[in-house]
């Protein structure tokens, strides 16, 4: 490129036009600047920045951004120079879009250079003066007073206060919720203000505007700006009062107002408002519904006693809504809107789509019906439902229509694939089952449940068909007679046809209840177990926990009918096995705790530890499978199927030991294992494969024979797909274990074959350990709640994944979760931050723990672990978290959730009794705290680092964990650092008194818990 005669601007334009690589561009610019350094009187950095800026703003192409990054990395220009040029650009142009700001400051924040020294408080435009370095010349100015009296004598007319130049960016941070505290703009600007010179001081109007922005700015920026404004306040004070002889000019009066306003702004930032009249702002309704709906999806599976066809968790959502909004119609519309958006944002190919369809079309209408039947005066069912539903259908019509078309197209595609896979066959649609659009399905369900009338339906959505439910052909009979290739379109029909999923669920439930006296149609359990879509439909009318209890009783405990077992031992065992495989698949699909029999089938016992009956049984099966006896009816009748299932891992273990000790050869082992590829015993593989995977990891290099067995079983032609799916997680973890590479090779383990099997079933994914590591840490996840209205889609899943992970894997459990929630709450510095408003919801909901029944509320943990006392030990003024209002709101919300969280508590009255007991314990702690003598803050807050934490015995642990106490409260010291360890500070006492006042003066709490709350009247 001939560039000797090109200006820098032309050089940049030519490079961009030719898409020159960034590194080549940087080398070219560097060479050019060096060649001109002797003849140019301008600073090379400013010259380059002036030439580069027109390409960077107002909308930088990605190549220009890469050029900027490379220039900074190569040290050709500093981020300080670019930043100052951007500041002066903003004085003449509108501020660019947030995306542009983010893209530029992502690069500047990653390459902070040139900010080692101070930035002057006044800057002159880089285009108007000469420099000897890349920082503008510091003007010779005095104090703000002298600047105001004689600006021309001290400051260049073209100089501008740096603070005023930064103001557009401060306004952007203050007003734009997308810029969270850890954004690149905040990071870079906090560094800039940290090196910004305090003198000369800015003008008063600039100081006033910045002072007004302080409540909305992150603390990283806030702290440094307060120093600047404090200096300005000192300068105003030094001017002295206005004397009578002088006469108050308009400017002087304005200055007095400014001084007063700025002092108030600073005071608001530096002091925590502990007014007992302050009520915490409610969380945004839509985001609250999104949050609670995700909780319902995760928790409803644990509902053991659904009330009138609807899980208690849904009722809890409705009860919580009373504390989220005063407008029932607004809640109703928001609930349906969230349901529609959750569905239409889900990929139609994902199984989650069918679940979200069920939530919107089945469960939400059932909740509305329950609400209508149980309408209460405090939160009545809307009298006019037509208006909100009409506006909802109108606003969401495009999304609803597009998604309906996508669902219909998927159905067409599935039929084509099925017919191509089975040549010469034609899929016949199910007779009598309609496949309406999403709008028709939802509207018809609302009419069917008498939530709206036919006349209202025609008004809400003119032209839509309203279907009346009339069941078509038997879904179960069709399923039992359908070919394997035609299952996908059949499953789709059951998922999306009007009321088909609920009919399917009811039909299967009756079949399970009739087992084993009335066997199910042939292959039905096997087909359901192999299809996640059908497993998802099973719970359309019953919770997964309730259905599992029925399955466990009918399919596992009773299992077989003795008469049919005597008549047909092999057929009876096969049917029992189909039921076991269904339970295995169901438990894995819903991530439920394993029933006792399934747990027994996942361990192997030493032969010497077996009882005599089990030893006799084991000897018989060893001879039958690995000997010459074969599996005769006699041994089938002599062995209960439950015992056979539980002993199968032990049977495999004995065979492996026999080969290892040369009592059995490999051919005999392979021959015996072939029995497990047949329907008679293949259903046992769920437990066997799970045991083998754990045993291989435990044995390590000694597991070669176990790998041989695993390979035989998994690669067998008839290994049930459902049971491979059940163990997909364990298999993936095994294949990823690098410590087993040597034994894989030495045993000739067919690693590729196993992977191919998993690939064919679409079961290759990251192991659970890796997925746990990929879960966003809770401290990071809760940041999504700070500006939740602009949080990315799926924020609620991220948050609950983090809550579950922290509850399950933190060695402190819910205490550790609570600590994080409170720590993050007290670190808030942004106005409009919605995190505080979500804390009552987080404290009130029962915390979900994966694969286990849910734990208690975090509010319970707060009270029972003396967390108020411990929290007071860790805080220093100013305190942002209004603990009094948090506790008040959480106590009220808790009643909505406690019924659902405790199966023993089935009524709202019992729930209130539990909350009353909790409130009483909290009052005990408040009485204890207020009984302590008061200590001065000088002694209490003597440590610069905030002191150490203490447990309930008053022992400092020094690990930054204030919630590690395990014994009951009221033996702790309140101050974990200095001073009298039995005293409370004035600052801490004010917080405790405020808690007492808020709880005591709340009418709702007093109306529900009058006797307990009256105790607070005696405290203060």
What does the pLDDT look like over 274-327, one tens digit per residue? 444 445 578 899 999 999 999 999 887 777 655 456 788 898 899 899 889 999
Can you say whether the dihedral through the CA atoms of 932, 933, 939, 944 is positive or negative?
positive
Q: How many angstroms separate the CA atoms of 101 and 89, rounded?
A: 13
Better-scored residue on pLDDT, 242 or 645 = 645
Q: How many angstroms separate the CA atoms of 841 and 836, rounded?
A: 10
pLDDT reading at 139 higher than 50: no
Any idea which residue has 């695993």 for tokens?
Answer: 710
DSSP state for residue 554 in the 8-state scheme: I
* DSSP bridge partners of 376: 379
Question: Per-residue pLDDT averaged across 828-845, rounded?
Answer: 78
Question: Per-residue pLDDT averaged across 753-766, rounded?
Answer: 86
Strands 934-935 and 159-161: unpaired
DSSP 654-711: HHHHHHHTTSS-HHHHHHHHGGGGSTTTGGGHHHHHHHHHHHHHHHGGG-HHHHHHHH
Q: How many angstroms separate the CA atoms of 16 and 19, rounded?
A: 5
**What pLDDT sits at residue 229?**
67
DSSP SS3 for 985? strand
Instruction: Kindly state the tokens that stand for 169.
Output: 């960016």
The percent of residues in the chain predicted with pLDDT above 90, rounded, is 43
For residue 249, what pLDDT band results from cuts at 50, 70 and 90? very low
156-191 burial code (b ≥16 CB/10 A, e <16): beebbbbbbbbbebbebbbeeeebbbebbbbbbbbb
For residue 200, what pLDDT band results from cuts at 50, 70 and 90? low
pLDDT reading at 947 higher than 90: no
Rg (CA), the chain: 36
**What pLDDT sits at residue 208?**
75
Instruction: Kindly state the tokens that stand for 262.
Output: 């700025």
992: CB partners within 8 A, 6+ apart: 868, 872, 926, 929, 930, 984
**Nearest to residue 889, comparing CAs of 1011, 1017, 1002?**
1002
* Burial class of residue 119 in the structure, from the number of CB atoms within 10 Å of its CB (0-12 exposed, 13-18 middle, 19+ buried): buried
* DSSP bridge partners of 934: 984
**Cβ count near 633 (within 10 Å):** 11
* DSSP bridge partners of 110: none
**What pLDDT sits at residue 210?**
80
**What pLDDT sits at residue 596?**
95
The percent of residues in the chain predicted with pLDDT above 70, rounded, is 79
pLDDT reading at 525 higher than 80: yes
Q: How many angstroms separate the CA atoms of 722 and 766, rounded?
A: 19
For residue 580, what pLDDT band results from cuts at 50, 70 and 90? very high
> Cα–chain-centroid distance for residue 44?
49
Question: Per-residue pLDDT averaged across 929-958, rounded?
Answer: 51
* DSSP bridge partners of 199: none
31: CB partners within 8 A, 6+ apart: none
Min mean pLDDT across 699-713, 836-850, 982-996 is at: 836-850
Question: Per-residue pLDDT averaged across 257-263, rounded?
Answer: 46
pLDDT reading at 141 higher than 50: no
Q: Within the chain, how many helices (H) and strands (E) appear?
A: 54, 4
DSSP 962-973: TT---S-SSSS-
**What pLDDT sits at residue 491?**
96
Cβ 125 vs Cβ 51: under 8 Å:
no
Min mean pLDDT across 134-138, 415-419, 581-585, 842-846 is at: 134-138
**What pLDDT sits at residue 94?**
84
* Burial class of residue 379 in the structure, from the number of CB atoms within 10 Å of its CB (0-12 exposed, 13-18 middle, 19+ buried): middle
- SS3 of 128-167: CCCCCCCCCCCCCCCCHHHHHHCHHHHCCCCEEEHHHHHH
What does the pLDDT look like over 905-925, one tens digit per residue? 445 677 678 888 889 999 999
DSSP SS3 for 980? coil
pLDDT reading at 954 higher than 50: no
For residue 239, what pLDDT band results from cuts at 50, 70 and 90? very low
pLDDT reading at 146 higher than 60: no
What does the pLDDT look like over 27-79, one tens digit per residue? 888 888 887 654 443 468 888 999 999 999 988 888 898 899 889 888 899 99
Question: Per-residue pLDDT averaged across 166-174, rounded?
Answer: 86
**What pLDDT sits at residue 870?**
82
Question: Per-residue pLDDT averaged across 399-404, rounded?
Answer: 95
* DSSP bridge partners of 307: 310
Cβ 993 vs Cβ 927: under 8 Å:
no
**What pLDDT sits at residue 488?**
94
pLDDT reading at 182 higher than 70: no
What does the pLDDT look like over 614-639, one tens digit per residue? 999 999 999 999 988 789 999 999 99
pLDDT reading at 834 higher than 70: yes
pLDDT reading at 575 higher than 60: yes
440-471 burial code (b ≥16 CB/10 A, e <16): bbbbbbbbbeebbeeebbeebbeebebbeeee
* DSSP bridge partners of 545: none
For residue 241, what pLDDT band results from cuts at 50, 70 and 90? very low
Question: Per-residue pLDDT averaged across 205-220, rounded?
Answer: 77
Cβ 718 vs Cβ 674: under 8 Å:
no
**Nearest to residue 290, comparing CAs of 796, 647, 791?**
796
**What pLDDT sits at residue 861?**
87
Question: Per-residue pLDDT averaged across 649-675, rounded?
Answer: 94
User: Considering the chain, what is the average pLDDT of its residues?
Assistant: 81
């Amino acid at each position: 490129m001939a560039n000797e005669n090109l200006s820098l601007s032309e050089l940049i334009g030519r490079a961009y036009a030719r898409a020159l690589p960034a590194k080549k561009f940087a080398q070219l610019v560097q060479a050019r600047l060096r060649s001109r350094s002797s003849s140019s009187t301008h600073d090379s950095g400013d010259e380059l920045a002036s030439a580069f800026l027109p390409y960077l703003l107002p909308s930088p192409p990605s190549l220009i951004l890469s050029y900027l990054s490379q220039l900074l990395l190569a040290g050709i220009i500093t981020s300080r120079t670019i930043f100052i040029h951007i500041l002066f650009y903003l004085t003449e142009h509108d501020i660019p879009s947030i995306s542009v700001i983010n893209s530029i400051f992502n690069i500047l924040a990653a390459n902070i250079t040139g900010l080692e020294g101070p930035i002057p408080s006044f800057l002159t435009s880089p285009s108007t003066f000469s420099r000897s370095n890349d920082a503008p010349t510091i003007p010779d100015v005095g104090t703000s007073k002298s600047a105001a009296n004689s600006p021309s004598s001290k400051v260049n007319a073209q100089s501008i206060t740096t603070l005023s130049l930064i103001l557009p960016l401060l306004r952007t941070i203050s007003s734009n919720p997308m810029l969270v505290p850890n954004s690149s703009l905040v990071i870079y600007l906090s560094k800039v203000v940290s090196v910004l010179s305090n003198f000369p001081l800015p003008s008063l109007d600039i100081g006033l505007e910045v002072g007004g922005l302080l409540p909305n700015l992150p603390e990283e920026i806030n702290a440094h700006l307060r120093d600047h404004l404090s200096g300005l306040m000192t300068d105003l004070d030094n001017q002295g009062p206005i004397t009578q002889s002088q006469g108050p000019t308009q400017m002087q009066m304005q200055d007095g107002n400014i001084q007063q306003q700025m002092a108030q702004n600073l005071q608001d930032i530096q002091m925590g408002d502990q007014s007992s009249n302050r009520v915490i702002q409610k969380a945004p309704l839509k985001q609250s519904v999104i949050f609670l709906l995700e909780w319902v999806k995760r928790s409803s599976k644990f509902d053991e006693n659904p009330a009138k066809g609807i899980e208690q968790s849904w009722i809890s959502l409705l009860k919580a809504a009373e504390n989220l909004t005063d407008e029932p119609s607004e809640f109703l519309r928001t609930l349906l809107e969230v349901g529609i958006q959750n569905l239409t944002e889900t990929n139609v190919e994902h199984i989650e789509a069918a679940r979200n369809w069920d939530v919107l079309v089945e469960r939400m209408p059932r909740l509305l019906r329950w609400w209508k039947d149980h309408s209460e005066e405090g939160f009545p069912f809307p009298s006019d439902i037509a208006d909100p539903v009409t506006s909802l259908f109108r606003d969401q019509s495009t999304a609803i229509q597009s998604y309906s078309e996508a669902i219909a197209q998927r159905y067409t595609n599935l039929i084509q694939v099925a017919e191509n896979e089975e040549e010469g066959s034609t899929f016949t649609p199910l007779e009598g089952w309609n496949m309406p659009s999403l709008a028709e399905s939802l509207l018809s369900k609302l009419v069917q449940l008498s939530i709206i009338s036919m006349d209202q339906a025609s008004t809400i959505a003119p032209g839509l068909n309203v279907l009346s439910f009339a069941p078509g052909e038997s879904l179960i009979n069709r399923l039992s007679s359908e070919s394997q290739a035609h299952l996908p379109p059949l499953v789709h029909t059951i998922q999306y046809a009007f009321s088909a999923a609920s009919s399917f669920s009811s039909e299967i439930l009756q079949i399970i209840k009739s087992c084993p006296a009335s066997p199910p149609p042939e292959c039905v359990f096997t087909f359901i177990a192999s299809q996640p879509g059908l497993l998802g439909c099973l719970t359309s009318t019953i919770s997964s926990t309730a259905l599992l209890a029925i399955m466990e009783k009918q399919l596992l405990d009773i299992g077989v009918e003795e008469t049919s077992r005597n008549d047909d031992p092999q057929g009876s065992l096969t049917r029992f096995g189909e039921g076991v495989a269904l339970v295995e698949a169901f438990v894995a699909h819903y991530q439920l705790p394993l029933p006792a029999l399934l747990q027994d089938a996942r361990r192997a016992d030493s032969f010497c530890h077996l009882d005599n009956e089990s030893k006799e049984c084991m000897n018989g099966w060893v001879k039958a499978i690995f000997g010459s006896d074969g599996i005769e009816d006699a041994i089938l009748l002599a062995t209960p199927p439950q015992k056979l299932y539980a002993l199968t891992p032990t049977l495999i273990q004995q065979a492996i030991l026999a080969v290892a000790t040369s009592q059995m050869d490999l051919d005999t082992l392979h021959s015996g294992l072939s029995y497990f590829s047949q329907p008679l015993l293949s259903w046992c593989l769920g437990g066997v494969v799970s045991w083998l995977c754990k045993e291989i990891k435990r044995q390590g290099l000694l597991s070669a024979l176990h790998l041989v067995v695993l390979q035989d079983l998994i690669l067998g032609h008839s290994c049930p797909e459902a049971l491979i799916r059940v163990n997909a997680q364990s298999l993936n973890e095994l294949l990823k274990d690098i410590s087993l590479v040597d034994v894989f090779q030495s045993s000739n383990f067919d690693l590729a074959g196993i992977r191919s099997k998993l690939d064919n079933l679409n079961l290759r994914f990251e192991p659970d350990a890796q997925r746990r590591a990929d879960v966003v840490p809770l401290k990071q996840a809760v940041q999504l709640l700070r500006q939740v209205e602009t949080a990315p889609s799926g924020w609620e899943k991220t948050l609950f994944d983090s809550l579950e992970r922290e509850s399950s894997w933190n060695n402190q459990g819910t205490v550790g979760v609570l600590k994080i929630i409170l720590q993050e709450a007290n670190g808030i510095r942004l106005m409009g931050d919605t995190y505080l408003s979500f804390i009552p919801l987080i404290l009130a909901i029962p915390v979900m723990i994966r694969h286990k029944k849910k734990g208690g509320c975090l509010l319970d943990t707060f009270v029972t672990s003396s967390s108020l006392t411990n929290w007071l030990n860790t805080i220093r003024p100013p305190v942002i978290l209004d603990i009094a209002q948090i506790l008040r709101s959480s106590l009220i919300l808790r009643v909505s959730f406690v019924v659902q969280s405790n199966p023993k508590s089935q009524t709202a009255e019992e729930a209130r009794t539990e909350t009353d007991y909790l409130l009483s314990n909290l009052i005990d702690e408040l009485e204890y705290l207020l009984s302590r003598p008061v200590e001065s803050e000088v002694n209490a807050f003597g440590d610069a680092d905030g002191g150490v934490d203490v447990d309930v015995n008053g022992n400092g642990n020094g690990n930054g964990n204030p919630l590690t106490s395990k014994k009951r409260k009221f033996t702790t010291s309140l101050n974990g650092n200095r001073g009298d360890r039995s005293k409370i500070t004035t600052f801490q006492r004010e917080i405790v008194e405020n808690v007492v006042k808020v709880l005591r003066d709340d009418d709702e709490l007093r109306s529900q818990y009058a006797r307990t709350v009256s105790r607070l009247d005696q405290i203060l």
